[in-house]
Amino acid sequence: MPKLHPSDKALVPFVSVENMMKLVHHIGIEPMLQGLADYIEADFRRWELFDKTPRVASHSDEGVIELMPTSDGEVYGFKYVNGHPRNTRAGLQTVTAFGLLANVGNGYPVLLSEMTLLTALRTAATSAMAARHLAPRGADTMAMIGAGAQSEFQSLAMKAVCGLKSVRLHDIDPAATAKAERNLAGSGLTVVPCESAETAMEGAQIITTCTADKQYATILSDNMVGSGVHINAIGGDCPGKTELAPGVLQRAEIFVEYPEQTRVEGEIQQLAPDHPVTQMWQVLAGTAPGRTGAGQITLFDSVGFAIEDFSALRFVRDRVGGTGLVQELDMLADPDDPRDLFGMLARAAPAAG
């Protein structure tokens, strides 16, 4: 944890959207996705050290606003994030976010960062981290069902972390498919646009679903899913929003981040509250098996969890130093005498004119 010096203790390093984009290009998008996956895995391996709670959510007919806090006892972190699927109709982002890290010892923030871009990166890195342990050996083709804002990040993360070679794209909006195909041109991936989800899944060992509509949907019906695949389900992330038919869930070995949150928000909200699932951290710690057979269907029911955001902010904190890609924000009052906050205010009064 960086120490706060008396001369700068009231200034908080801030990474803006512009500087986050510069940091990604400075590191390289694939090395950054690989680095984020490694940081997330490292924190999952020490899962039991963290404070854990389901995110604090405020739901409305239009979407959701959430706070996602956690701490490892030395560093505290939280993310503010919204999810508003209808925003795209007004030219707005579906998801926006910012996050903060603070020193547990004195409560002072040590990093404030945009997390709209960073959330997209960490979501993809988390998917790839899980697939690294759950996907069939040698998997090199992914069906990407839903070509929205996550599709390119998911594809590049699977390439960087898992060795993906080909992505088969489908979206009900042909313009979204064309957008993703255009953005992935020159990435080294073979990109195949597909007219249907069924076509996209032909020959794919990894299936990623990421659609935006806030409703119970059936993106994957039971008869569409054959044996031996890994499903990366990331679109269902709030109550009342799912993508997979219950029959798919019944046939799959299900892996989750934090059951108390996933049972409310994930695909498994469709199942009985006691339906067995495996926590991903247990696989990484070696206390539970991951994929156990070639014909097994594995499902990572990912809704996003605060520890992943903590890991992403920790990665940024460690990599942004010395790059010049931070601004110093005057966010914290810093009186000469900590007991004399009013005196600091009084001395700032404009001179009588």
Give catalytic residue positions.
237
Cα–Cα distance, 314 to 44 (Å, whole number): 13
- Cβ-contact 81, 320 below 8 angstroms: no
CA distances (Å), 297 to each of 169, 232, 255, in order?
A: 21, 11, 11
Distance of CA 323 to the CA centre of its chain: 24
Q: How far apart are CA 253 and CA 96, in angstroms?
A: 32
Tokens 């959510």, residue?
57
Cβ(262)–Cβ(233) below 8 Å: no
Query: Exposed, middle or buried: residue 342 (CB in 10 Å: 0-12, 13-18, 19+)?
Result: exposed
Burial (CB count <10 Å: 0-12, 13-18, 19+), residue 335? middle
C-beta atoms surrounding 49 within 10 Å: 12
d(C-alpha 18, C-alpha 214), whole Å: 30
Question: Which residue, chain included where needed, has tokens 């899944």?
Answer: 201
Count Cα atoms within 13 angstroms, Cβ side, for 134. Answer: 33
Contact 258/280 with Cβ under 8 angstroms? no
